[in-house]
Structure formats: C-alpha cells, structure tokens
Chains A and B, each alone.
Chain A
Amino acid sequence: MRTFEYIRAADRADAVARARRGARFLGGGTNIVDLLRQNVEQASELVDVSRLDGAIRQSDGGGLLIDASVRNAALAAHPLVRRRYPVLSRALLAGASAQIRNMATVGGNILQRTRCMYFYDVEGARCNKRQPGTGCDALDGFNRYHAILGASDQCVATHPSDMCVALAMLDALIHLSGPDGKRSIRLTDFHVLPNASPHIETVLKPGELITGVELPPPSDAVTHSEYRKVRDRSSYAFALISVAGGLALTDGRVTEARIALGGVAARPWRAARAEAALIGVAPTEEAFLAAIREELADAQPLSGNAFKIVLVERTVVALLAALAGAHQ
C-alpha cells in the first residue's frame, strides 16, 4: 500500500476543493481501502467526508432527503424508510454484513466499484476498467457474476450495490456539489454503461461530491414494494441477480409498476420496458413473464451466466405475483 495523506474534510467546500486537486473521497472505506490495499487504485490524498452532515429528514415535497454520509445501517433502520420505502430498507439489509453496513455510507455505496475478480487481480489479469486498452479477461473467463444487459466487448462487469437497485426503482435523485456549483441527477442516469470506456463509471465531474440522495414522495407502488436478492450463500455475497419491485392496482388492473434489477449490468437497471408493458393489464404471472421477457429481449448472456435470464424472469414473476397477491 502506498502512503497517502488522510484529511478530515472541514466542510463540503473544503472536500470539493481538495478533490479538485486530486484527492479521493473517503466514506466508510469499505471498498476504497481494499482497492488501495490491492493496488487497484492509487491515491495521494484521502479526504474523509464521512463526518459531514449525516441527517435524514423529510423534504418539502413530502419525500425524503438523505445526506451522503448517512451510514447504511442507520438508513435501513430509519422509521420513515422502513414505513414508507420498505424496498430500500430491505435492499440495504441484503447487502454486505452488519459490520460493513455500520461503516458504509450512502455516497460510498453509490460509488462502489465492481467485484469482478479480474478487476482486482492487478498482477495477473487484464482489465479494461482498471487499465484501459489492456483487454478483458472476464469475457471468456469467470463471468458467472457478470452482465447480461448493457455490456460491451470491452467490459462485462456489474455494479455490485443492492441499495442502488432500490434507489433506481424509487426514482431517487442524486444531489451533487462541485467546483461549478450544485446540481441534481436521477440515479438511473448517474452510472454509465461501459461502451468503449469502461473505466468511466459515472457522470461525476472532477471534484464533484455526492452530498445527498432525495427520494420523491412514495407512490402507491413504492408503498407496496419488495426487494429480493438471489445469491450463492445466505449472507455476505454479492447478488447473482436482484429485483426491486413495486406494484399498484386499481380495479384488477396494474396502474403503476416499478421494477429495477441488480447484478445484470454496469448500473442498476430500471426495467422501463417491462413497466410500460404492465400498465393496464391484469396482474397475472403470464403478464409479468411477458413483460420481463420484453425487457430481456436484448439480453446477451456470456459463457457462464445464461442462467441469469431465467433467474431474472422467475424472480420478477414471483416477486410481482406476491405483491399482486398482497393487494388482493
């Protein structure tokens, strides 16, 4: 591990100013410290933003404002989150371990990097994300955990977050603060697909800091929402796939459907085509299957992950069917 300076940010402006000069932000450190230790990333300066504002409060519009430094465990346990955004609480608790959730921050969770084994094997493997232009050993290697949607021939890695899948489903807004001032962006527009430059993972500009996440007021489908994570062991494993889903019904017809998928792409995948296909239809398993198949029409399995297509289909159908059943 290379030596680096550790500085605790005085305030957001201080953090942004330091980051603009090359410092990296440090939240809970549950990912970046590993990345530094394994030499995947290098930093000469870490600016600790984990002690900046850490509040959760209602927004003026009836939504929820979550500061970026809020710990995952605190967010999952917050009464407003548990009551009004159950899918978010469940997604958070499906991630990592209790110890990691106690440390990890909301901002850091959004910015965590893929767990592709080739990405982490600095000495022995090629990775376009880690070292652009060197090649991708996952393409024909171990890609059981990798993407079936939105990948490129340069990179097939997935975004590992559970929380972000719920945030994508919730239409969360990301609030940013940077050298050029503040801006907000939908979470679903925040992460970018790999295309020819998989080392670029978000739309963050140099120096920009995630300051918070805003959840819109919960719709009926959000109130009736659920998260299901499918993985290789019961805890402490990344998702093979995960589904955040919510459903609203009126007179036996779907009036609102929300579906986001994890473990399938380089970003949390909002299944907009499936959602659109469900509006106005009767909530049957056949309809759910047809809808998710529409979403997966472009899916491109790799040598080791074709099972993910079936797994997504079945998990989405089961989750939506359970939600529909609970409505009735």
Chain B
Amino acid sequence: MTKLQNAIVGGVRAVLGHVPASWLPGGTPDPLIDKRVALGRQQSRVDGPDKVRGAAQFAAEVPMDDLLYAAFVHSTIARGNIADLDVSAAEAAPGVALVMTYRNTPKLGVPPTVGLTNLKAAGNHTLPIMQDPEIRWNGQVVAVVLAETREQADHAATLVRVRYASAPARTRFEEGKNSAYTPESILVERNRLDKGDARRKLAEAAFKVDAVYKTPWENHNPIEPHAATIVWRDGKLIVHDATQMINATAGSLAKVFGLKADEVHVSSPYVGGGFGAKAMWDHQILGAAAAKLAGRPVRVTLSRASMHRLVGGRMRTEQRVALGADAEGRLKALLHHGYGVKPRHSVCDEGFSLTGRSLYASESFDVVQHYVDLDLLANSFMRGPGETPGTFAIECAMDELAHALGMDPIELRRRNAATRDAVSGAPHSQNAMMEAYDLGAARIGWSRRTAEPGSRREGEWLIGMGCASGTFPFTRMPGTSARITIDGNGDAHVASAAHEMGMGTATVQRQHAADRLGLPLDRVTVTIGDSSLPFASFAGGSSQTASLAAAVSAASGKLAVQLMRLAGNDTPLAGLKPSEVEFADGGLRSVDDPARHESFTSILRRAGRSELSAIGESGAPLEILKFSMHSTSAIFCELRVSDVTGEIRVDRLVGAFDCGRILNAKTAASQFKGGMIMGLGMALTEETLLDERTGRIMSTSLADYHVPVHLDVPDIDVLWTDIPDPRAPLGARGIGEIGTTGVAAAIANAVFNATGKRLRDLPLTLDKLI
C-alpha cells in the first residue's frame, strides 16, 4: 500500500511539474490577500465571553436525564491474557448499573484508521476493543463500570478483580531497536532518501558533526480531560464529544457499530485544548457500547491517569544527524537516521526525518527512519508531529556545526538557506526564513551574544543565548465545506462542521466572511462544531484555517452566481456576468462601475426569498505537490544556568515567524506563544516515565508529568514577517503547530552557549548539567 502511495504521489508530482502554476489553486491571486478590513487586524475571540462566564458548554457538562457515569479498569500487565475475572463485588456496589468486560461487550468493529485518504476515519490503532481476553498493552481497558454517580463508578472499579496470565512483553527501547522495521513511506513522503552520494561527501567534508539526539515519549495534557456524553436515541447514536475530528469520529463510530453515516451525530462546539489528543480513542467506543448495553445515556470523563493510559502521545525518538560542510559552511551532506517507537498497531507517523529535507540547501542527503515495535499504547500526533523532535536534532546539529566552523549560527543558516526545495527542486510558494531571523535577532539583541561558551556570568549563573529554525509544512485538506446563508436582513451566516479547540476558528472565519462578502463584522455569524453542519475534515496538520478559507471562498463564488441569477434583469447589475461583479457594501456591485450596486436584501426581496444559501468546498490541494510550501520560524532564547545546581532558568524567548499573512494578530500571538510554551516544556521537563520492566506508565498525574508552571515561562515575544503566500488561501499558511518546533533546540543551544555543555537528550533536567 505504501509503495503504491509512493508511486501515486510521485506520479502526480511529476505531472504537476509540467502544469502551469496559474492553473493551480492560487493561480489567480485572491483579492483579499492585500486587503485589510477585518482580516489582518486584531480581533478578540467570539467564544471568549461565553468561556469567561462559564456559559460555554463542554462535553462533560451537557445535561442529560437518567445519566450513568463511567469508570475504567486498566490492565496492569503489558501482554498476556485475562485468566480470571470477578466482577461480582463491583456489580453489587452501590449505584452500579453495569459492569462491562470482554465477556459482555457487544461485538464492535475495528474503526477505520485516521489518514489523509479517508476523512471519515479516526481510529488511532488497529487493535480489537474489549472483544477478547487478550492484553496488548499495560493500561488497556479491561472493564467499564457504569454507576449513578462518578464516585460510585470509581469506587466500584476498584472492586473488579482481574487475574492475569502474563506473556513475555516487548517493552524495552534498546532491545526493540534490534528488530526495528522500516516503512516505505512517512505520511505522503517516500521514507528513504539517498541523493547525491551523501556518505562520500560527508567523509570528504572539511567540517563535520555527527551526533545522536534523543527525545522522550511525551503524553498529552490538555486542560480539559477527554470527555463524552453519549446517548442512543431511536437507534441513532448521539455523542457530545471533545474532539478535533467531528466527522471522522462520526464516520468511525458508524463503522464500529454497523450504522449508516446519518445515524451517528457528533457535537463538539467547544474543546478545552486539542494538540492532537482530542481524537477518537477507546473511551468514546466503550462509552457508546456501554450506553447501548445499559440502555441509558453515559458520561465518560477520563481521569488524568486514564488519559495517560488510553490516549497516545509523541513517540520517543533517537536520531543520528551528521552534517558535512565546506570551509565556508555550505552543507555538502546531510545524514538523518533515526528510530521512533511506533507499535505495529499504531497508525500515526512521526516524520522527524522529514525536517531536514526542506530547511537547507544541502548538496546531498541520506535520510531514513525506522520504527521500534513495542507492546505499548499506540503513539499519536502531538503538536508539530515530526518537526518538533526533528528540529531538535537538526537544529542542535546546525549549532554544533556553527561552533565547529567558528561561525555565527545565524550566518551558517543564511549560507544554507534554500531558494527552492533541495530534494524535489520544487519552487517555494513563499519563504522568508532569513527575514524572520533578522527580525528575531534584532528583537532579542543577538549582538549581545558572546560566541565563546561559558563566558557570561552573573554570580553563580552562567548566561547564554541560542537560536534555532522551526518549520512545519503547509497542508490544506480537501473535502472541507462551508455554507454561507444570506438572510432577509442581508446578514451572513457561515456554517461548517469545523472545530474550536480555543485557537479562534470561528473568529477568523467571521473576519474572512465579512471581508469576502463586503459586510461589517457584526453582520456575520459563524457556527461550527457539529456533524449536522456541512462536512469538514479534522482540525490537524495546521490545516483548518486554510481549508475552511478555501471552502468559504468557494461558497462565496457560488453565492454570487446564485444572487446574479435571482437578481434577473430588473437590477443595476443586469447584463453583468458573475465574474464581473464583486461583493461590496452588503451586496454585489460591478467591478468596473462601483455605482452599479444592489444589496442582498433588495435582491432577496425582489425574488420573494427569505434567505439564500450556497455551499462551497475546499478542492484538491494540488498546490502542495507543485510548490514547496512550509512555514518557518527563527526561535531565540536567552537563559541562565546555575553552576551550583544545574537549574536552567529561561529568561526570554523570541519567536519570529514566516507563515504567510497573519489573519488575526491576537489569536495568532496566542497560538505562537502557546506553541512555544509547549516547546519549553519539551526542552526542560516533559517526559513520560515508562517503567520498561512492566511497560507501565508511572507519570500519570500532573504532579509527576511536569509541564511548565507560570514561573518557568519567561517573557515571550512573537513577531512575524506577514508576507502573503500567493498559493495559500488568504495568503496564510497554518500557524497552529510551528510554534512548538525549534524551541527545544534554541534552548539546548543556549545552554551550550552558557555552559559549554552540549546536551542531546531531552528533557534538559539539572542532573544532566551538574
């Protein structure tokens, strides 16, 4: 399958190489790219007031009569079988309505797995869900308890007695490396890249670095734990979920329960943080199965511990990067080999080895990544998958190379900045990474940096500065659609089954629709977050804004056609073709003669219509096959390291981003800063503690899994080039994930500058520095 995929993608790319760029999306420049009415200005989030007031209803808050609460019992071995199961005490406990185990779970299909080819698929692993007594990872659910209250369910769950027959389990990374497998492709890229005789060029290079970088397993910790309120009504399954995959979840649940697509309804208007975590895992499926069995609605709210045992995170990686350069610092060879833990039942790639293929103009490449198959919880996507661990390795290696060359690390990047994709030769749609470096360097005061490590000191504190590039590819999802309805007052209402995890989805599309339709902001509403709305793909890959923008834009085009048809001949617009009119002042007007205008209300009134709707769809993202489209960034850090205790205190972070046009300064700044704080956590503290003896995660609380606290988070400056990408809808590439990339490398590089110690193993805890 993946060989076939490689062939298809390669074939389409080859064909598109000959297709004129003007035929592809963005071929005709979007007039909104240069306009600054609502878009490009700061706007507060439309969902903000309701969230502050507590009026926004999250999945675990949906009121429902006759509700039962679920608690999960998790396996305590990594591999084997349930030998003996006693649920009698749990069943007899107060308030218990149902104890569901593999013995009485309804037959459940395996959900179709998440991917780019099936937008109605959300499965994160391929294992059967409580269908047999087999145990496949430590933490797998072995029983679901339903009770009248959450407390009763939790208590009864402790009374379920399970005796296991253990089998040998593969839980050790080092041992797993020996039997690692090598996939044909990573996402849509061929895995192995061997271009330009990299091994020879590396051997002959005047300067080289060759080192191994390690990043740990990281668990998701959104502020809102996973939750779903689930009810079966008249044979239909209704799920109030916390998800960034509304339609994929609905489609998958339909397959699991043998329902028609329209027999599953998923609603998720608000999500308390996604980051890749808020997808479909076993809890929605088990909750729906238990609700069916009990004949009552069920609320599932995962405890932090259950989240850590059931919701996969970022895979552990070990990456070797070797760089060879000539005396001027020009890259002659880039080698990037690595291992990541992806059990065979996992479906999510962590394409860390893709990072170095697009950032720099190396003469040759030798790139491949391998997966370690262990008996563990499936890995999944976490903010900036691939590039987040990938930039740690590549960008630390670049810093090491700069040091070996005696060259400023920004200058090294400048000399290697790619003018087109170094591997495919495809032109950039837009790229100004070095402008981002210039902006960031000026903001942090890079000229204050001393190149000699360990040369700045204040008392016991050694002070250092570091920088690193961040990068994340542009993605636009096909199949995302949006409906625009113009009502009798001439107001516009946009609807799509898109997702709001706190980043400002509706806010920005409201700005977009207002500008697109020539309306003031207060005459536009946006409704998202429900599978009954026009189909949208998942919110992932930093693709949602671009995909929605393309859909809204397409809908507006159809709307113009329909309005012209309705307008007929008795209109100032008579005789004009749809291509000769534009939206303005609450209606349509002639492009050539702005005096010829008719308002929406007038057109609708004359036609005897109370409203008019049009649905548009985001088409195939052919632009990403023709052009090299990546957001980039320059991350800067200034920090102190105690030479007594090894403690690191980050004093400043600056992120300068080149992501095309910024649509809303306020929501964009939040996205960038939030991403950078996740990068800070990755650098300093975050690590899933897996006890390799048992395959058991030990860090299942926020006390043991350390995310940054306020005191760890420094002053963060974010700025951007704000140069529109002509190939991206609205000129904007995605910004949701790039903030996390590059941060850990910038911090590790600053630690080297402060101390002279090169740490290549995250997190940078103090024991590694003393």
Contacts and interface: CB of A to CB of B under 8 A. Distances in A.
A225 to B, nearest CB: 18
Interface in A117-137: 117-118, 120-125, 137
A318 interface: yes
A308 B703 CA distance: 20
A82 interface: no
Nearest to B713: A234
B706 A117 contact: no
Interface string A270-310: 00000000000000000000000000000000000001001
A311 B642 CA distance: 11
Interface stretch (B101-109, B337-345, B505-513, B762-770): B762-770
Nearest to B690: A142
Contacts of A140: 693
Given A230-B645, A234-B649, A235-B709, A123 B698 contact: no
Given A121-B698, A141-B691, A141-B698, A230 B704 contact: no
A315 B154 contact: no
B460 interface: yes
B698 A315 contact: no
Interface in B702-737: 703-704, 706, 708-712
A230 B766 contact: yes
A1 interface: yes
A236 B685 CA distance: 12
A124 B649 CA distance: 35
Nearest to A2: B155
Interface residues of A, number: 33
A30 to B, nearest CB: 12
Which among B691, B693, B701 has the greatest number of chain A C-beta atoms within 10 A? B691
Contacts, number: 79
Contacts of B76: 123-124
B158 to A, nearest CB: 5
A18 interface: no
Contact residues of B: prevailing secondary structure: loop
Contacts of B647: 230
A122 B154 CA distance: 14
B147 to A, nearest CB: 12
A137 B765 contact: no
A315 B706 contact: no
A123 B74 contact: yes
B694 interface: yes
B474 to A, nearest CB: 34
Nearest to B94: A3
A234 B691 CA distance: 26
Among B646, B699, B711, B767, chain A packs the most CB atoms within 10 A around the CB of B767
A311 B151 CA distance: 43
Contacts of A311: 645-646, 766-767, 770
A190 B687 CA distance: 35
Interface string A229-264: 010111111001000000000000000000000000
Contact of A1 (B151, B644, B694, B710): B151
B215 interface: no
Contacts of B704: 115, 117
Interface string A134-148: 000100111010000
Q: Chain B: interface residue count, which band?
A: 35 or more
Contact of B766 (A118, A125, A232): A232
A233 B712 contact: yes
A8 interface: no
B694 A124 contact: yes
Contact of B770 (A1, A123, A235, A307): A307
Contacts of B696: 121, 124-125
B172 to A, nearest CB: 14
Contacts of A112: none
B684 interface: yes
Contact of B710 (A3, A117, A235): A235
Interface in B132-154: 138, 151, 154
A234 B711 contact: yes
Contacts of A235: 709-712
A20 interface: no
Contacts of B693: 137, 140-141
A120 B700 CA distance: 10
A236 B765 CA distance: 16
Interface string A1-34: 1110000000000000000000000000000000
B158 A39 contact: yes
A314 interface: yes
Contacts of A123: 74, 76
Nearest to B698: A117
Interface in A85-141: 115, 117-118, 120-125, 137, 140-141
Pick from A1, A234, A235 the residue with the most CB of B within 10 Å: A234
Contacts of B155: 1-3
Nearest to A39: B158
Contacts of B684: 233
Nearest to B707: A233
A131 to B, nearest CB: 14
17 contacts: A1-B151, A3-B155, A115-B704, A121-B698, A122-B158, A123-B76, A124-B138, A124-B694, A230-B766, A232-B765, A233-B685, A233-B712, A234-B709, A236-B709, A310-B770, A311-B766, A311-B770
Interface of A: 1-3, 37, 39, 115, 117-118, 120-125, 137, 140-142, 144, 230, 232-237, 240, 307, 310-311, 314-315, 318
A-B interface, 6 closest residue pairs, ranked by CB to CB distance from nearest? A234-B711, A307-B767, A124-B76, A117-B698, A318-B644, A235-B711
Given A118-B698, A311-B767, A314-B645, 13 more contacts: A117-B698, A117-B704, A120-B701, A141-B698, A230-B766, A233-B706, A233-B711, A235-B711, A236-B709, A307-B767, A311-B645, A314-B644, A314-B770
